[in-house]
């Protein structure tokens, strides 16, 4: 598969971002390639396109499957296994949030609860116990909020995110669409006034 310069840059950047998020660079690059391709690809084509070892592709595909980001697809007339991913970015975001919540947030909440129920909790003092409790409360709130967001359809989720950005501007006292600020006064539409 030939990659345009734009596709190549996208895939390289997605790999760099993956590494910053704690995901192997090749894993992220394979996911980016499958996302851009929009059609399932066989492992040998993935390896050739990205210039990585076939064994590296196999291991990376297994990791992406464990994250529910890549599915095995059979293509009629081709005995090779093909692999595909969703091309719906909202679906991918939901999957990543769901998987991170399950792998990182929920186990941490469980450990914090266990620590808070331990008779040894107060050995380190009230302040440390309070910090652990604050972290538990924050993570439980984040978990509950993300669960609610995951239930929303895409249009509603997009509106909620857009609304959240507008609320932040309002809280900071910056004009939002319509010209309102946190102080309640109206601000003239700047686009009508010109540059």
Residues β-bridged to residue 137: none
**pLDDT band for position 87 (50/70/90)?**
very high
pLDDT of residue 175: 78
Whether CATH 1.10.10.10 fits 5-84: yes
- pLDDT tens digits for range 168-180: 888 888 877 665 5
> 65 near 117, Cβ under 8 Å?
no
CA distance 107 to 57: 29
pLDDT of 178 reads: 60
Span 36-72, pLDDT tens digits: 999 999 999 999 999 999 999 999 999 999 999 999 9
Q: What is the dihedral of CA 152, 157, 161, 167, to 10 degrees?
A: -70
Q: How many alpha carbons fall within 13 Å on the CB side of residue 73?
A: 17
User: Is the pLDDT confidence value at 24 over 80?
Assistant: yes
Q: What is the mean pLDDT of residues 80-97?
A: 95
Taking the C-alpha atoms of residue 139 and residue 107, their distance in angstroms, rounded to an integer, is 11
Statement: residue 165 has pLDDT above 60 = yes
């Amino acid at each position: 598969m030939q990659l345009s310069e734009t596709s190549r840059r996208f895939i390289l950047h997605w790999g760099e971002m993956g590494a910053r998020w704690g995901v192997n660079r090749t894993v992220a690059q394979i996911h980016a390639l499958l996302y851009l391709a929009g059609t399932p690809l066989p492992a040998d084509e993935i390896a050739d396109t990205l210039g990585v070892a076939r064994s590296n592709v196999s291991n990376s595909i297994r990791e992406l499957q464990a994250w529910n980001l890549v599915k095995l697809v059979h293509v009629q007339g081709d005995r090779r296994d093909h692999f595909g991913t969703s091309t719906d970015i909202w679906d991918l975001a939901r999957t990543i949030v769901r998987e991170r919540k399950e792998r990182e947030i929920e186990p941490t909440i469980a450990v914090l609860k266990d620590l808070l129920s331990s008779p040894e909790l107060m050995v380190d003092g009230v302040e440390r116990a309070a910090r652990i409790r604050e972290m538990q409360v924050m993570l439980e709130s984040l978990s509950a909020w993300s669960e609610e967001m995951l239930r929303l359809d895409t249009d509603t989720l997009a509106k909620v995110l857009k609304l959240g950005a507008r609320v932040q501007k309002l809280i900071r006292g910056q004009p939002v669409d319509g010209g309102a600020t946190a102080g309640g006064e109206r601000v003239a539409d700047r686009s009508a006034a010109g540059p």
